[in-house]
Amino acid sequence: MFYRYEDVLNWNYYLNKAKVQIYLNDYEMLRETACGYWINTSGYGKSYERWVSKTSRKRFAYPTKYEALINFKHRKQRQIKLLEVNLSRAKAALDLCIKESDFQIKEYNEKKNKTQGRVK
- pTM for this prediction: 0.73
Handedness of CA 110, 113, 118, 119 (dihedral sign): positive
- Structure confidence by residue, pLDDT tens digits, 62-99: 999 999 999 999 999 999 999 999 999 999 999 998 88
Domain total for the chain? 1
Query: The sheet that has 17-32: what strands, in order across it?
Result: 2-12, 17-32, 36-40, 49-53
- Structure confidence by residue, pLDDT tens digits, 12-40: 778 788 889 999 999 999 999 999 999 99
Q: Which structural domain, as residue segments, surrounds residue 11?
A: 2-119
Give the integer Cα–Cα distance in Å for 74 and 102: 42
